[in-house]
Amino acid sequence: MITRLLMRNINKISALLILISVYFASCNKDNPGGIDPSSSDCPENVIKYRTMDLSVTTPHKAIGELVSNEYKNGWGRMEFAQPVTSIPAAAFYENTNLVSIELSNKVTSIGGDAFKGCSNLISATTGNGITSIGERAFEGCSSLKEFAIADGVSEIQYATFTGCKALETVYVGQNVKVIDDASFYNCANITKVYTKNLKNWCEGGFMRAFSAYSYGKVDLYVDNKLLVDLVVPDGVSAIADHSFVGLKRIKTVSLPETVNYILYYAFEDCEGLEKINFPASLKGIGHHAFMGCTNLTRVDIASLEHWCSIAFYEDEDSYSYITNYPFQYSKEGHLFQSGKEIADIAIPASCTVVGDYTFWKLKSIKSVKFHDSVTKIGLWAFMNCASLESLVIPDSVTLIDSGAFSYSGIADVTLGKNMNRIGYEAFRGCANLRKVTLTANTPPVLYSRDNLNPFSECSSLESIIVPKGSLSVYQNTSGWSQYSALMKEAE
Mean pLDDT on 394-405: 97
What mean pLDDT comes out for the span 154-175? 97
Pick the more confident residue, 15 or 335. 335
pTM of the full structure: 0.89
Mean pLDDT (the chain, rounded) = 92
Could you tell me the pLDDT band of residue 215, with boundaries at 50, 70 and 90? confident
Work out the average pLDDT over 5-28.
Answer: 43
Query: pLDDT digit string (tens) for 195-212?
Result: 999 999 999 999 999 988
CATH number for 343-491: choose from 3.30.565.10, 3.80.10.10, 3.40.50.2000, 1.10.10.10. 3.80.10.10
State the pLDDT at residue 168. 97
- Tens digits of residue pLDDT in 340-362: 999 999 999 999 999 999 999 99
Q: Write the secondary structure of the chain as one string of H (helix), E (strand) and C (coil).
A: CHHHHHHHHHHHHHHHHHHHHHHHHHHCCCCCCCCCCCCCCCCCCEEEEEECCCCCCCCCCCCCCEEEEEEECCEEEEEECCCCCEECCCCCCCCCCEEEEECCCCCCEECCCCCCCCCCCCEEECCCCCCEECCCCCCCCCCCCEEECCCCCCEECCCCCCCCCCCCEEEECCCCCEECCCCCCCCCCCCEEEECCHHHHHHHCCHHHHHHHHCCCCEEEECCEECCEEECCCCCCEECCCCCCCCCCCCEEECCCCCCEECCCCCCCCCCCCEEEECCCCCEECCCCCCCCCCCCEEEECCHHHHHHCCCECCCCCCCCCECCCCCCCCCEEEEECCEECCEEECCCCCCEECCCCCCCECCCCEEECCCCCCEECCCCCCCCCCCCEEECCCCCCEECCCCCCCCCCCEEEECCCCCEECCCCCCCCCCCCEEEECCCCCCEECCECCECCCCCCCCCCEEEECCCCHHHHHCCCCCHHHHHHEEECC
pLDDT at 487 over 80: yes
* Mean pLDDT value of segment 325-354: 96
Predicted confidence (pLDDT) per residue in 53-64, tens digit: 999 999 999 999
Q: How is the chain split into domains, by residue range?
A: 343-491
